[in-house]
Amino acid sequence: MEVSIVIPAFQESGKIARDIEKATQFLDGSHIKGEVIVVDDCSTDKTAQVARSTEVPPSVEVKVISYQPHRGKGYAVRTGMNASTGEYAMFADSGLCVPYEDALRGLELLKANTCDIAHGSRKMYGCHIEKPQSIYRRICSKIFHWFVIHDMKVPADFTDTQCGFKIYKGNVARHLYGECITDGFTFDIEIIIRAQKEGYRIKEFPIDWTCDRDSRLSPTRSSFRVLSELLAIRRALSNNK
C-alpha cells in the first residue's frame, strides 16, 4: 500500500460521499495504490452509513471505522493513522477545502527524503485562497499562532500549524500518533512538538484552499477546551524530558 488517506468525520453525512469520491478518484487517477480510512467520531446522523454505501473505483479500498462515545478530532485522526498501512499516511479534513491533487506536492518532498512530515500551508508563498476565513477567525488564528510560538515553543517558521492537510512517512505517522494523547483539535501541536523532540524533519508546502464555513470548531465555544488541551500537552511533554 503506497498511500493511506484518513478522513476524520463528525456529523458529515452531507459531505462525506463527495470526500470519499474525490479521495478515491485522486488515488485511482494518479495510479497510486492506496486506501481511504473514514473515521466516524460517533456521529448521530448517517455519516457512517453514507460512507459505507459510497461507490468507489475497484482499485481503492475504503475502510469505515466507527466508535462510541464522541471523542474529538484528535482521537479520530489518531485512530485512522494507527489503522493505516500505507508507506505514506495523510489526513484531510472533510469538506474538500484542499484539492487532493495538492498532496502530490507533499508526497514529492517525502519521496525525495527532504523531510519526514509535509504540512500543507495556507499562508506561504504560492498558496491560492479561493474563499478566505472570516475576519473573526483570522484574528483568532493569529492569537493562537502567537500563543503556540511563545508559550508552547513551536518554531516560528511554521506558518500554518492547524491546516487540515498533512502527510507523513507512514512509519513516522504511526509512531507519533501511537504516542499522542490529545483527543481534541490541538493534536497537531502535540504531534509537531513530539516530532521536533524526536528529530523528525517537517517542511511546509503551499496549497489551494477554500474556507468551509460549516466548521465543527467554534473559536468562542471551544476556547477554554483548546487552552486546557495546550496546557495538558505542555505538562505531558515536560514530564517526558
Whether 204 shows a pLDDT value over 80: the answer reads: yes
Least reliable range by pLDDT among 59-73, 126-140, 148-162, 201-215: 126-140
Q: Which three cell numbers stand for residue 88?
A: 505514506
pLDDT of residue 218: 63
Q: What is the pLDDT of residues 121-138, one digit of tens each?
A: 999 989 998 887 778 788
Q: Could you tell me the pTM of the whole model?
A: 0.93
Partners of 64 in the β-ladder: 38
Residue pair 36/89 in contact (Cβ under 8 Å)? The answer is: no
CA–CA separation, 156 vs 146, rounded Å?
A: 9
CA nearest neighbour of 187 among 115, 91, 107, 47: 91
- Give helix then strand counts, H and E, for the chain: 8, 9
pLDDT of residue 177: 98
**Confidence tier at 221 by pLDDT (50, 70, 90):** low
**Confidence tier at 225 by pLDDT (50, 70, 90):** confident
Q: What is the CATH number of domain 3-239?
A: 3.90.550.10
When comparing pLDDT for 135 and 36, which is higher? 36
Q: How many CA atoms lie within 13 A of 211 on its CB side?
A: 10
Mean pLDDT of 105-133: 93
Least reliable range by pLDDT among 33-37, 47-51, 68-72, 142-146: 142-146
**Confidence tier at 207 by pLDDT (50, 70, 90):** very high
Q: Which three cell numbers stand for residue 155?
A: 518554531
pLDDT of residue 133: 75
pLDDT of residue 227: 85
CA–CA separation, 75 vs 152, rounded Å?
A: 21
Mean pLDDT of 100-125: 97
Q: What is the pLDDT of residues 184-201, one digit of tens each?
A: 999 999 999 999 999 999
Report the chain's mean pLDDT, rounded to a whole number: 93
